[in-house]
Amino acid sequence: MSYTELISTMTISSDLPTNVNENFRKARFQNLAAKSATFTVFADDTAGSPIDMYLVTTGSSAITANLPAAGSDYTGRVVTVMKVDAGSGAVTLDGNASETINGATTVAIAATQFHYRTIICDGSNWLVISSS
């Protein structure tokens, strides 16, 4: 039995590991957005720089993070919303129309500094996958 070489090591570009490592390095960093008023999640995404985490400063005001319609554009997309100040205002995640987050139309984030919710879109609703 004989084997045909699938790829010759002579044809591999010497910069392949560098490109792979650079892509991996970039994927490890999150794009952040600071918010201090009610906002819509993902509305401020720019081409090539989708927002992964929102850092919310409330002071004494309540702030709502409105979620976009859960559809194929957002299936599998993960976002974290974190309250970063010690103010008394609470942060609420609000599903689009009748869409739910773990079965409820809204989910609160404690009014405690550094509390957060990480959610993922399943294509028709949102699910909390991590929180504090």
CATH number at residue 50: 2.60.120
Chain centre to alpha carbon of residue 101: 15
Residue 4 lies in a domain: no
* Residue 21 placed within a domain: no
Q: Please tell me the pTM assigned to this model.
A: 0.77
In the numeric block, the tokens 């976002």 are attached to 79
What is the domain extent for residue 39?
31-131
Higher-pLDDT residue of 30 and 14 is: 30
Summarize pLDDT for 16-32 with one digit per residue, the tens.
444 444 444 455 557 88
Q: Is residue 123 part of a domain?
A: yes
Query: How many domains does the chain fold into?
Result: 1
71: how many CB neighbours lie within 10 A of its CB?
Answer: 12
Instruction: Kindly tell me the burial class for residue 92, based on how many C-beta atoms sit within 10 Å of its own C-beta (0-12, 13-18, 19 or more).
Output: middle
pLDDT tens-digit map of 53-84: 999 999 999 999 999 999 888 999 999 999 99
Q: Which tens digit of pLDDT belongs to each residue from 82-130?
A: 999 999 999 999 999 999 999 999 999 999 999 999 999 999 999 999 9
Q: What pLDDT does 50 receive?
A: 85
Residue 57 included in any domain: yes
Is 108 within the bounds of a domain?
A: yes
Q: Is residue 1's pLDDT more than 90?
A: no
In a domain, 82, yes or no: yes
The predicted structure's pLDDT at residue 31? 87
- 71 lies in some domain: yes
Residue among 39, 40, 122, 118 nearest 74 (CA) = 122
Q: Is residue 23 part of a domain?
A: no
